[in-house]
Amino acid sequence: MAFATAGLVIVLLLFGLAVAVASAQQRVVTTLQASVTQIKRWGGVVLIGIGLWTLALAIWAEEFSRIFPV
């Protein structure tokens, strides 16, 4: 009887967890779809920043090698 009860509890907990994850996933997707424009804009800003950093590393390579020795 104890094993049957434990098995039933485990199955119910896993089923509840699966439902909770599916519900949370749907809310996250809905939130992301609502703010796609902001996500694209911030993604672009990050890419431009990384590009500028890469250009700065290329242009002033010697100065950066003195600051960050390898």
pTM of the model: 0.51
* Domains of the chain, residue spans: 1-34, 38-70
Q: Which of 44, 46, 65 is nearest to 56 (CA)?
A: 65
Q: For 18-58, how does the pLDDT look when each residue is reduced to its tens digit (9 = 90+)?
A: 988 888 888 888 888 888 889 899 999 999 999 999 999 89
Residue 45 CA to residue 38 CA, distance in Å, equals 11
Residue 4 CA to residue 11 CA, distance in Å, equals 11
Radius of gyration of the chain (CA): 25
